[in-house]
Structure 1
Amino acid sequence: MWIRVILFLVINFLGLAIGGFFTGDGVPSEWYQQMNKAPWTPPGWVFGFAWTSIMITFSVYLALLYKKENRSVFILLYVAQVILNISWNPIFFYYRNTIFGLVIILALTALIYVYLISYFKALRWWSLLIIPYFVWINIATSLNAYVVIYN
């Protein structure tokens, strides 16, 4: 199991690094700084802490789920999650397309709901490991929606 945890940690953090690379100067950019952001937007350091915590707990969750789920379904869901997670950064920050960014993050939110609901029976209390992702993706979605509505 620990080999799978390490493998998912590597893939997940590589995905974060790729997404971060495509963020470029996004957060400190004039475009983002001038934007009307939600009053509940957390300080920048919270994003790094949140994603680090999420990817650690999500990696353990995935390693546990791997043994219980059909491999084809597992790979399809996981690849979709990785693609959606990585693609949001360049769409939102590099291309500055907040509406398509919202579409992507809504799809990612729906996918995390699928993980939480569909595999609760199989993983029981281990499903708590996806709760940080579930909570954060809802916050992130609300932040993106606010930007679309108020800018």
Structure 2
Amino acid sequence: MLQLSFVVVAVVGIGWLIGATNLPGDWYAGLAKPGFVPPNWAFPVAWTILYILIAIAGWRTFRREPSGQAMQVWVAQLALNFIWSPMMFTMHQIGAALVILIGLFVAIVTYISLETSRDRLAAALFVPYAAWVAFAGVLNAAIWRLN
């Protein structure tokens, strides 16, 4: 349990740190956005829940096969996840952020595929994440198109 707690705190903490240091700010507020943008409060709530699920899945995978393909994909998706906010909100690169989200979605689906036969719970923990990232991709694409 101590290892799980560490992984959850690390993933959520790094996610929060990246979010706190790459705020949307005035630049994002001034962009044209589609009508389906969730309220601002929904993002930290959704990401906190998702980061907990991501951490639990990664911990389960690490315990079983710390250097296996699924763990490598888990690390890759987390890296892509963590680079999106700086690309979008700090560098203002909407198109590049969309490319990152596409890669992230592919990594998430790959992880689910790899884990489905080995650890169904780990795979299932990534399903809401896949749905949220798919939605984020549509939102990112709409913002790119509008601006």
State how 1:24-39 maps to structure 2 within 5 Å.
24=23, 26=24, 28-29=25-26, 31-39=27-35
* Residue 11 (1) aligns with residue 7 (2): no
- How far apart are the structure 1 equivalents of 2:89 and 2:56? 29
- The unaligned stretches of length 5 or more in structure 2 are none
- The TM-score, its normalising length taken from structure 2, stands at 0.88
Q: Assess if the C-alpha contact under 8 Å between 1:68 and 1:122 holds in 2.
A: no
- How far apart are the structure 1 equivalents of 2:35 and 2:42? 15
* Residue 146 (1) aligns with residue 139 (2): no
Shift of 1:92: 0.5
Shift of 1:19: 1.7
Q: Assess if the C-alpha contact under 8 Å between 1:109 and 1:138 holds in 2.
A: yes
118-127 or 72-81, which deviates more: 72-81
State how 1:38-49 maps to structure 2 within 5 Å.
38-49=34-45
- The TM-score, its normalising length taken from structure 1, stands at 0.86
- How far apart are the structure 2 equivalents of 1:83 and 1:125? 22
Corresponding position of 1:77: 73
For this pair of structures, how many residues does the alignment match?
Answer: 147
- How far apart are the structure 2 equivalents of 1:126 and 1:11? 18
- How far apart are the structure 1 equivalents of 2:100 and 2:122? 27
Root-mean-square deviation (Å): 1.8
- How far apart are the structure 1 equivalents of 2:16 and 2:121? 30
Q: 2:119 aligns with which of 112, 123, 146?
A: 123
- How far apart are the structure 1 equivalents of 2:85 and 2:21? 6
Corresponding position of 2:22: 23
Corresponding position of 2:82: 86
Deviations 1:59-118 (A, max 9, x none): 221222223335153553233222211111111111101011111111111111111112
- How far apart are the structure 1 equivalents of 2:36 and 2:112? 25
